[in-house]
A and B are shown apart, each in its own frame.
Chain A
């Protein structure tokens, strides 16, 4: 059976991982390549690297970094941040990324998804959506890491992204992100039920139970988190074992076969 995926997300600025990382006996926490290898060995199923650099120089650094990740990490990885046009996608895929994630730029110009899917195939394009549930119950999409509200709403935009050729939806609930109170179960379940492409849950992971809940109740295909992994609050192998013990199909690896 197809396994549910656990995906650590790494923010990268000027070639270094941003959020603090506390692994026991792990000295290279600032190096995204060493960190990615470490996660791969611990049993992560996939990695997401988000470039949060604003400058042109930073972008070049990121491309070089993607090449090093491709050379050393033997599991799939997605890259996002600063992808505005097809040439950005071309550059990152040529550097060895398996998928690209588009967010604000796709809301501003939805044709970008169509272009990526047509040129590289639907499997290459992850559509990331940051949305907040407003007081009236509407899930509103936001741009620029949640700073700028838009007229788009989560479900209609997710449908359009699928129609245009997105291969996956990565939905981050801004209400839940950073709360460590669990994922946005209801919205994620609705996305799962309405769409035919895989859904990645993001925002709110605090405990192992939260991962179990999102797989059992929202039936998502993958769950993404950052700080709970970076700070060692939830060890990867322990999470996988807990999920397997509770009937979720996950890929468990011995340290030898990661």
Chain B
């Protein structure tokens, strides 16, 4: 069973649809027992990091997500919430990845924030990217980013290099939106769902 964490994130339905297109039948739930017993858990996220953390804490989901032992995939803000701290709302996050989330600081006016659109991923080192060519385009929408760190498994360049994806133990995460990245995104989702 594949579970998508139900909380106040904006892209849950899109993630659900992408899984369905791949032939999987996920459930959307905030039920602790179901989350713990799922084979795979997807932790989506669009919106404000602080608001999301507050909601997760109120629901007790912060402890649950942190303690999951099956493969977990964080997406976008979901990835940021798995880090130690986010500059967005100056909030402590779940602390799975040993990295902090910081705002894009454009070095010149040609860099617009949010970064919105398709950018390439490179230096791919994870089964998450099986059959995904280097320099494939994926879809991004974000104003905050995770610097390159020990857990980085893919990088993207926008005002400098940052973590396109992270992996540590059973936790995987992408800053981009695989559910919106055409066939490349579907390959990445499929790789996760068949880990």
Interface residues of A (CB under 8 A from B): 1-5, 40, 45-46, 70-72, 74-76, 93-96, 98, 120-124, 167-168, 193, 196-198, 219, 221-222, 251, 253, 256-258
Label chain B's interface by main secondary structure. mixed
Q: Nearest Cβ distance between residue B109 and chain A, in whole angstroms?
A: 7
Does A121 lie within 8 Å of B48, measured CB to CB?
Answer: yes
Q: Nearest Cβ distance between residue B119 and chain A, in whole angstroms?
A: 5
Q: Nearest Cβ distance between residue A4 and chain B, in whole angstroms?
A: 8
Collect the chain B residues with CB atoms within 8 Å of residue A71's CB.
17, 20-21
Q: List 8 A-B contacts (CB under 8 A).
A: A76-B141, A96-B17, A98-B11, A123-B143, A124-B46, A197-B112, A221-B112, A251-B137
Does A2 lie within 8 Å of B13, measured CB to CB?
Answer: no
Our pick among A3, A70, A74, A121 for the contact of B117 (Cβ within 8 Å) is A3
Collect the chain A residues with CB atoms within 8 Å of residue B106's CB.
196
The B31-50 residues at the A interface (CB cut-off 8 A) are 46-48
Collect the chain B residues with CB atoms within 8 Å of residue A123's CB.
46, 114, 116, 141-143
Bound-state Cα–Cα, A3 to B17, Å: 25
Q: Nearest Cβ distance between residue B12 and chain A, in whole angstroms?
A: 9
Our pick among B112, B116, B186 for the contact of A74 (Cβ within 8 Å) is B186
Collect the chain A residues with CB atoms within 8 Å of residue B142's CB.
123
- Which of A96, A98, A196, A197 has the most chain B CB atoms closer than 10 A to its own CB? A98
Does B17 lie within 8 Å of A168, measured CB to CB?
Answer: no
Bound-state Cα–Cα, A121 to B17, Å: 22
Does B139 lie within 8 Å of A75, measured CB to CB?
Answer: yes
Does B119 lie within 8 Å of A122, measured CB to CB?
Answer: no
Collect the chain B residues with CB atoms within 8 Å of residue A256's CB.
183
Q: Nearest Cβ distance between residue B195 and chain A, in whole angstroms?
A: 21
Q: Nearest Cβ distance between residue A44 and chain B, in whole angstroms?
A: 10
Confirm or deny: B184 has a beta carbon within 8 angstroms of a beta carbon on chain A. Answer: yes
Does B182 lie within 8 Å of A75, measured CB to CB?
Answer: yes
Query: Please, which residue of chain B has its CB at the minimum distance from the CB of A2?
Result: B119
Bound-state Cα–Cα, A258 to B186, Å: 10
Does A196 lie within 8 Å of B109, measured CB to CB?
Answer: yes
Q: Nearest Cβ distance between residue B23 and chain A, in whole angstroms?
A: 13
Tally of B interface residues using CB under 8 Å: 41
Confirm or deny: B26 has a beta carbon within 8 angstroms of a beta carbon on chain A. Answer: no
Bound-state Cα–Cα, A168 to B119, Å: 17
Collect the chain B residues with CB atoms within 8 Å of residue A196's CB.
106, 109, 112-113
Confirm or deny: B180 has a beta carbon within 8 angstroms of a beta carbon on chain A. Answer: yes
Does A70 lie within 8 Å of B119, measured CB to CB?
Answer: no
Collect the chain A residues with CB atoms within 8 Å of residue B191's CB.
none
Collect the chain B residues with CB atoms within 8 Å of residue A74's CB.
18, 21, 179-183, 185-186
Interface residues of B (CB under 8 A from A): 10-11, 13-14, 17-18, 20-21, 46-48, 106, 109-110, 112-120, 136-137, 139-143, 157-158, 177, 179-186
Given contacts A74-B21, A96-B17, A123-B46, contact A222 B180 (CB under 8 A): no
Query: Please, which residue of chain A has its CB at the minimum distance from the CB of B113?
Result: A196
Does A3 lie within 8 Å of B181, measured CB to CB?
Answer: no
Q: Nearest Cβ distance between residue A72 and chain B, in whole angstroms?
A: 7
Collect the chain A residues with CB atoms within 8 Å of residue B119's CB.
1-3
- Which of B14, B113, B140, B186 has the most chain A CB atoms closer than 10 A to its own CB? B14
Does B13 lie within 8 Å of A76, measured CB to CB?
Answer: no
Does A167 lie within 8 Å of B114, measured CB to CB?
Answer: yes
Does B182 lie within 8 Å of A121, measured CB to CB?
Answer: no
Bound-state Cα–Cα, A256 to B10, Å: 29
Bound-state Cα–Cα, A191 to B142, Å: 21
Does A167 lie within 8 Å of B116, measured CB to CB?
Answer: yes
Our pick among B20, B112, B120, B180 for the contact of A76 (Cβ within 8 Å) is B180
| Shortest beta-carbon contacts, A-B, top 6 | A251-B137, A3-B118, A251-B118, A123-B141, A257-B183, A96-B13
Given contacts A45-B117, A123-B46, A221-B117, contact A2 B139 (CB under 8 A): no
Query: Please, which residue of chain B has its CB at the minimum distance from the CB of A67?
Result: B13
Does A124 lie within 8 Å of B10, measured CB to CB?
Answer: yes
Bound-state Cα–Cα, A45 to B189, Å: 19
